[in-house]
């Protein structure tokens, strides 16, 4: 199983969208600074995730969420203001 997830910075409410096979470990990596891109905006909280049966589907959905229409969709349906 693979997770497509959205985390949100508690500092500035920015979002990070990613894919992982181990969600608990990946969130820990984001919050400990091991993930370079997200290290400057920690701490992070998980705001949404979805489980997919295979890697391709998870990455395809991640690509959609990172598109302009996917960004609008997540903002409208998934993200709660801090």
Per-residue pLDDT tens for 20-61?
A: 999 999 999 999 999 888 889 999 999 999 999 999 999 999
Give the per-residue pLDDT at 82.
46
47-51, 68-72, 77-81: least confidently modelled range = 77-81
pTM score above 0.95: no
Give the per-residue pLDDT at 66.
96
Distance CA 42, CA 36 (A): 11
DSSP secondary structure letter of residue 30: H
Distance CA 14, CA 81 (A): 10
């Amino acid at each position: 199983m693979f997770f497509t997830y959205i985390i949100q910075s508690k500092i500035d409410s920015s979002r990070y969208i990613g894919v992982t096979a181990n969600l608990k470990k990946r969130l820990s990596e984001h919050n400990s600074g091991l993930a370079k891109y997200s290290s400057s905006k920690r701490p992070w909280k998980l705001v949404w995730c979805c489980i997919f049966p295979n890697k391709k589907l998870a990455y395809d959905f991640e690509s959609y969420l990172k598109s302009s229409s996917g960004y609008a969709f997540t903002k409208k349906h998934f993200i709660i203001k801090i």
